[in-house]
């Protein structure tokens, strides 16, 4: 490699490191103190969100994260649209309904203003009768078909909340206090 090539490569590495340092200033992070870890199963016919809330209530899990789950859903509503977006930067608030899907997901559980839980779950689902054609998005609701097998990790500290950001289309963003 020529001297110019080495210098150019070093300069690119420096610029990339500088860019990374600048971007890190925007990242908000907090060390989490983990509590208990649970293996959780939901049963055929269960409402996913109701079952998750019931598990949290019964086990006094006020906040945490879901590193993964696998599930079968008889039906589910995901954030999405087939319409042209007037503002592509704005969040989509409409839903797409899917049926008979296999799902893989993860998420977080934060507290809401009423001291209840506010789960934020994303999934990738495959439509079984359509060659497992996939959709991926925010999960709004689902009815369990056969099973849901989930890991839940409780977070003891800091407090995790999800207030709406009025400067960003009222999107509820995870915060650590």
Total residues belonging to the chain: 177
How many C-beta neighbours within 10 Å does residue 48 have?
25
Q: What is the pLDDT of residue 41?
A: 98
Predicted TM-score of the model (pTM) = 0.83
Q: What is the pLDDT along the chain (177 residues), one digit of tens a residue?
A: 544 444 444 444 444 555 555 555 578 899 999 999 999 999 999 999 999 999 999 999 999 999 999 999 999 999 999 899 999 999 998 999 999 999 999 999 999 877 789 999 999 999 999 999 999 999 999 999 999 999 999 999 999 999 999 999 999 999 999
Q: What is the pLDDT of residue 114?
A: 78
Which residue, among 126, 116, 124, 108, has the nearest Cα to 173 in the 3D structure? 108
Which residue, among 153, 172, 169, 171, has the nearest Cα to 161 in the 3D structure? 172
């Amino acid at each position: 490699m020529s001297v110019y090539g080495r210098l150019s490569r070093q300069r690119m590495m420096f610029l990339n490191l500088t860019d990374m340092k600048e971007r890190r200033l925007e990242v908000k992070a907090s060390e989490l103190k983990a509590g208990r870890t649970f293996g959780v199963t939901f049963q055929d016919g269960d409402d996913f969100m109701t079952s998750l809330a019931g598990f949290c209530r019964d086990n006094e899990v006020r906040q945490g994260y879901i590193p993964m789950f696998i599930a079968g859903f008889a039906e589910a509503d995901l954030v999405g649209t087939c319409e042209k977006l007037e503002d592509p930067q704005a969040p989509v608030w409409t839903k797409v309904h899917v049926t008979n899907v296999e799902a893989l997901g993860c998420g977080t559980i934060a507290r809401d203003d009423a001291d209840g839980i506010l789960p934020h779950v994303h999934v990738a689902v495959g439509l079984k009768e359509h060659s497992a054609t996939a959709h991926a998005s925010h999960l709004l609701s689902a009815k369990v078909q056969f099973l849901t097998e989930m890991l839940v990790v409780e977070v003891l500290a800091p407090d995790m909340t999800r207030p709406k950001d009025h400067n960003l289309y009222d999107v509820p963003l995870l915060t650590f206090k």
